[in-house]
């Protein structure tokens, strides 16, 4: 430790520091005020922090203070001394949306899984892709309660590093696999209608199962970087000034997944519409081809609704992160959280794709709807104060 000489004019030094940097805190031991002072290896030296001006004292002079500049990663530049404030409304809204998506997605995909096992008689390649899509949606729905708890705890993770890594890996794996199988369904419909003469349309269900296994393995290989996240990165409530390879890889992978899948789906939709207009004189009298067109169009609408808002919000946040004020940055981070929760809406809307693909799914969901509405009517009829006999008198 160092000691200030007894003849050191503390009050004058304090005034000099305040003159150079009014808000600079300083510390003079054995005096009446205790504020932090920057010290150097010279031994006995006093400095005004963040300015580099030596105080008027009998201590030895020091070199000007050099501030450490934060490392700037790809799209992770923050304004100095900027901390993203918590928004109760944004966090509760995001958590509520995640829990709603979890409940509706679990119900809809459970009915679809039951239909696959007990109602679907013929398994074609598109049915195999849809079955894997159902599995991915159910596993993704299992992660959403933990993700909602993360937002309800003011964006803190309290279950340890291993559980966080497992949850992030499973979430990235299932979301990536869901995008891949949705794209596979659209591509299968496109090839069977537009290029029906190709040999790829002769694929059996066993070959489709092999393709599905390859999709799962490739998705796991691309998302394995989430396992190597450190505890500080898993997950954080604020944008970081430093970017690891795992974080940059996750961002790049999510962008590539959206761009490639969305581009393929738009290409398939345009090709289907153009082909149907050329081949059919009256397309309204061709229900199968019309259903194929509606299926691909529904996949495109689903992608636009679920993934486009989050994609645009993250792009804008990455571009303008270093040039915005703290207030605007906080608003953009909260907007990215809310739009990011919309990506899980895919698991809720995927049953609409199933209904367009096979009439068996429409019958199953119609039966579920009638069962729920009939039960609600019975509960209303049997409510206290309502006698069934009175309605017949």
The CATH number linked to 345 is 1.20.1070.10
At residue 238, the pLDDT reads 43
pLDDT at 64: 42
What residue numbers bound the domain in which 110 lies?
A: 88-366
Q: How many domains does the chain have?
A: 2
pLDDT score of 35: 38
Same domain for 95 and 61?
no
Q: Which residue has the tokens 């596993």?
A: 139
Q: Are residues 181 and 258 in the same domain?
A: yes
Structure tokens at 97: 């949306």
Which of 38, 67, 96 represents a domain boundary (last residue)?
67
pLDDT value, residue 83: 61
Positions of the chain with pLDDT lower than 50, given as ranges:
1-78, 236-243, 385-393
* Inside any domain, residue 388: no
Q: Among residues 303, 226, 294, which one has the least CA distance to residue 260?
A: 303
Structure confidence at residue 100 (pLDDT): 93
What is the rounded distance in angstroms from the CA atom of residue 43 to the CA atom of residue 94? 53
Judge whether 41 lies within some domain. Answer: yes
Q: What CA–CA distance (Å, rounded) separates 210 from 205?
A: 9
Residue 34 burial by CB count (10 A; 0-12/13-18/19+): exposed, middle or buried? exposed
pLDDT of residue 278: 75
pLDDT of 10: 45
For residues 51 and 108, membership in a common domain is answered with no
Do 59 and 108 fall into the same domain?
Answer: no
Both 322 and 196 in a single domain? yes
- Alpha-carbon gap, residue 32 to 244, rounded angstroms: 45
What pLDDT sits at residue 281? 62
Specify the pLDDT at position 296. 76
**Number of neighbouring beta carbons within 10 Å of residue 390:** 7
């Amino acid at each position: 430790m160092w000691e200030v000489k007894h003849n050191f004019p503390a009050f004058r030094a304090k005034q000099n520091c305040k003159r150079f940097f009014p808000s600079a805190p300083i510390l003079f031991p054995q005096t009446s005020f205790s504020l932090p002072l920057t010290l150097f290896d010279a031994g006995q030296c006093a400095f005004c922090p963040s300015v580099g001006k030596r105080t008027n004292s009998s201590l030895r002079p020091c070199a000007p203070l050099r501030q450490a500049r934060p490392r700037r990663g790809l799209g992770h530049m923050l304004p100095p001394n900027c901390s993203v404030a918590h928004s109760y409304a944004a966090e509760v809204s995001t958590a509520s949306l995640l829990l709603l998506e979890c409940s509706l997605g679990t119900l809809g995909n459970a009915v679809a899984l039951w239909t696959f096992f007990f109602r679907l008689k013929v398994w074609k390649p598109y049915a195999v892709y849809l079955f894997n899509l159902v599995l991915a949606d159910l596993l993704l729905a299992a992660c959403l309660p933990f993700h909602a708890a993360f937002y309800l705890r003011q964006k803190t993770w309290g279950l340890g590093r291993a559980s966080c890594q497992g949850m992030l890996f499973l979430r990235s794996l299932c979301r990536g696999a869901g995008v891949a199988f949705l794209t596979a369904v659209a591509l299968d419909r496109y090839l069977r209608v537009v290029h029906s003469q190709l040999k790829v349309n002769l694929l059996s269900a066993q070959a489709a199962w092999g393709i599905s296994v390859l999709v799962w393995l490739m998705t796991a290989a691309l998302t394995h970087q989430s396992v190597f996240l450190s505890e500080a990165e898993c997950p954080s409530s604020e944008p970081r000034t430093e970017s690891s390879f795992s974080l940059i890889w996750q961002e790049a992978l999510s962008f590539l997944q959206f761009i490639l899948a969305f581009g393929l789906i738009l290409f398939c939709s345009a090709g289907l519409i153009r082909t149907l207009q050329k081949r059919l004189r009256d397309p309204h009298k061709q229900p199968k081809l019309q259903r194929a067109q509606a299926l691909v169009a529904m996949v495109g609408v689903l992608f636009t609704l679920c993934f486009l808002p989050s994609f645009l919000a993250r792009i804008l946040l990455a571009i303008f992160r270093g040039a915005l004020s703290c207030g605007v940055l906080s608003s953009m981070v909260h907007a990215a959280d809310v739009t990011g929760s919309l990506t899980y809406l895919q698991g809720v809307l995927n049953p609409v794709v199933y209904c367009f693909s096979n009439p068996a799914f429409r019958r199953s969901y119609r039966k579920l709807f009638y069962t729920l509405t009939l039960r609600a009517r019975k509960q209303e009829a049997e409510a206290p104060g309502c006698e069934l006999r009175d309605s017949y008198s």
